[in-house]
Amino acid sequence: MLAGPEEHAKLIETARGERPAELFVRGGTIANVYSGELHRGNVAVTGGRIAYVGEGERALGPDTQVVDASGLIVSPGYIEAHFHPWVLYNPVSLVEGVLPLGTTTVLADNLFFFMQMGPEGLRAMMDDLKELPLSFLWMARLVSQAKFPGEEEMFALEKVEPLLRRDDVIGTAEVTRWPALAAGDPALISGIRAAKALGKIVDGHTGGASEARLQPVAAAGVDADHEAITRNEVLNRLRLGIWTMLRNSSLRPDLPELLRAVTEDGVSTQRLIMTTDGPAPEFIAENGLVDGMLRVAVENGVPPIQALQMVTINPATLFRIDGQVGGIGIGRQADLLLLPDLTSFRPEKVITRGRTVAENSKLTASLPHLDWGRYGSRPSFDGGLELSDPSLYPLRASTVPESEVPTIHLKSAVITERRDVRVGAESGLVTLDGQSGMLHAALVDRAGGWISRALVSGFAADLEGLASTYNTTTHLLVIGRRTEAMAQSARRVRELDGGIVVVRGGVISYELALPITGMMSDLRFSEVVLQNQRLSSAIAAEGYEHHDILYTLLFLTCDFLPALRLTPLGLLDVKTSSVLVPSERLTGPPEQ
């Protein structure tokens, strides 16, 4: 990320006024996140880096491109500090949606790219994404979000550490199994120690952790966390030296409450950061990304310059990239926004690396077309896997207690509780007779090695059949009250080689292909937004009771949120780490 010797020399010459700048932003009011002030000034750029900040014009030359910033605020580009770039959109389509809104750097989770592409494919993708006009920096996972056979080998340190040695990998991504961290899990601690030895940051995920349980997590090496949902939880993290990210996502729009720690409790914003945590596409279309959080912050009483610091210099400082991005300072990457005011935070012009890439909320830069297939992928659906048999999906009566069956009940979009219910059986299969709102659920190994089964309620009472590879395992999640419709939706997802399908009355009422790892579409961002809206409408028609179907699907198969989850190991009680109904080995080949 350091400029080469020749570029460095040109930067110094331009700073002295002896070499004309390539770009000169004239007459704006600079939002100086270093000093915390607004002041008049010009910005000279050469080689994609800032060479001069001040009121002089010596860097002007006959070939210098001059941008008139009179009457505008010149702000650093926004940094999204904790992001999952696989919520139906992919990294390229994401740029189309958020770069015109002022987000110029994204700290991105590598989870599904690593799991599906492997280390070599991931490295090739990361290299190709450097051609984008938005800077992706990466966080490397140490574990998955749902244990599976072969996980330890996949995430072995000898496979993760080479990624951590890359300049564009800033640290380790959120460790969702924080109780294991608190217990000193040897594999996790080895990964953290390797990251720390390389000067990298360790991101945390401590949802539900009390102040007492945060102590050993911090001792394990966690630097930052984004799971505070109350102002007191913000204080608990800050007081332990943990950088605290205030989240405002489609799943958890908590920012107004969290900001009370600043506006009412007087907490310093020096170690506070704002993040959207990878929201649904339709949320971005409606609310923006980082720009939207800035609006919320100012509307809730945070001074504009402090709000800007929380999405520029603060995350840059945490991630030790403040010599590169995060402020309008000499030698930094020339990521500049021309804002009409400090209330809307919507830029009239976006400049990255010294080039104009968006104007008036429209992308003007071209984006590369990536051949996603060339990065490789784990085996997709096994051709011999018999998804057409409706009897594949219900629970086997022999695997559950004769009295009452533990079931997954959704209390909200992602939080579940255990409910034990009496069920009937026919031909050895659990039936839903007399169970209003109850659905069959199955998680099927794409390679045909295993299947996990459960019952789910509080989801969508009228749902006949839904199949989705969009979940934390990227295997095939199938849910419904009619097993024939479940089989039909599953077959269609296999034909799409990954995606989401809803079946009603024997007809496909919704489908979306997700050919990139089973999680991402190859459509443009605007089309992905439309698909997200159509999915929301389709699932609402089936009686879906909550507000974020994508995160319901995503987390139904995870192993870190309460209470019961459907995982590759079976029906899991997360709190006790006990498998209540084990997965069943199928006759197909073992998972690869």
Amino acid found at 259 = L
pLDDT confidence of 206, banded at 50, 70, 90? very high
pLDDT tens per residue, range 367-421: 999 999 999 876 678 777 889 999 999 999 999 887 799 999 999 999 999 999 9
Coil, strand or helix: which one is 371?
coil
Cα 372 from Cα 115, distance rounded (Å): 14
Angle (CA) 43-48-54 rounded to 5° is: 15
CB contact at 8 A, 137 and 109: no
pLDDT tens per residue, range 226-243: 999 999 999 999 999 999
Residue 585, Cβ density class (10 Å: 0-12 exposed, 13-18 middle, ≥19 buried)? exposed
- List phi, psi (to 5°) of 444: -115, 125
CB contact at 8 A, 174 and 587: no
Predicted model pTM: 0.97
H or E segment and range at residue 164: helix 157-164
pLDDT at 498 over 80: yes
Coil, strand or helix: which one is 30?
strand
Amino acid found at 570 = G
Cα 242 from Cα 400, distance rounded (Å): 44
pLDDT confidence of 589, banded at 50, 70, 90? very low
What secondary structure, in 3-state letters, does 213-266 show?
A: HHHHHHHHCCCEECCCCCHHHHHHHHHCCCEEEEEECCCCECHHHHCHHHHCCC
Coil, strand or helix: which one is 527?
helix
Place of tokens 């990065």: 375
In the chain, the domains with their CATH numbers are: 1-77+327-364 (2.30.40.10), 78-321 (3.20.20.140), 390-585 (no CATH)
Q: What is the reported pLDDT for 434?
A: 85
Cα 335 from Cα 355, distance rounded (Å): 9
| Residue from 75, 56, 71, 65 nearest 25 by CA | 65
pLDDT tens per residue, range 114-157: 999 999 999 999 999 999 999 999 999 999 999 999 999 999 99
Cα 204 from Cα 277, distance rounded (Å): 13
Instruction: Please report how many Cα atoms fall inside a 13 Å half-sphere around the Cα of residue 92, on the Cβ side.
Output: 18
Look up residue 2 and give its two tokens: 């350091």
Amino acid found at 270 = Q
Coil, strand or helix: which one is 32?
strand
Q: What is the reported pLDDT for 1?
A: 61
CB contact at 8 A, 71 and 514: no
pLDDT at 253 over 80: yes
pLDDT tens per residue, range 442-473: 999 999 999 999 999 999 999 999 999 999 99
Look up residue 423 and give its two tokens: 């069920």
Residue-wise burial string across 386-398, b where 16 or more C-beta atoms lie within 10 A, e elsewhere: ebeebebbbbebe
> Taking all residues of the chain, what is their mean pLDDT, rounded to a whole number?
96
pLDDT confidence of 582, banded at 50, 70, 90? very high
CB contact at 8 A, 173 and 139: yes
Alpha-carbon distance values, 113 to 84, 141, 282, 375, 413 (Å):
11, 10, 23, 9, 25
pLDDT at 587 over 90: no
Q: Please, what is the end-to-end C-alpha distance for the chain in angstroms?
A: 37
- CA 194, 166, 4, 74 torsion-angle sign: negative
Place of tokens 């980082």: 290
CB contact at 8 A, 145 and 176: yes
Summary count for the chain: helices (H), strands (E): 18, 31
Residue 12, Cβ density class (10 Å: 0-12 exposed, 13-18 middle, ≥19 buried)? middle
Q: Please give the sequence-ordered ranges of beta strands (E in DSSP) within 92-180, or none if there are none.
A: 103-109, 135-140, 169-175
pLDDT confidence of 103, banded at 50, 70, 90? very high
**381 vs 358, higher pLDDT:** 358
pLDDT tens per residue, range 2-39: 788 999 999 999 999 999 999 999 999 999 999 999 99
pLDDT tens per residue, range 51-88: 999 999 999 999 999 999 999 999 999 999 999 999 99
Contacts of 265 (CB under 8 A, 6+ apart): 231, 235
| Residue from 216, 278, 213, 212 nearest 245 by CA | 278
Q: What is the reported pLDDT for 378?
A: 67
Alpha-carbon distance values, 109 to 165, 169, 373, 568 (Å):
16, 10, 20, 22
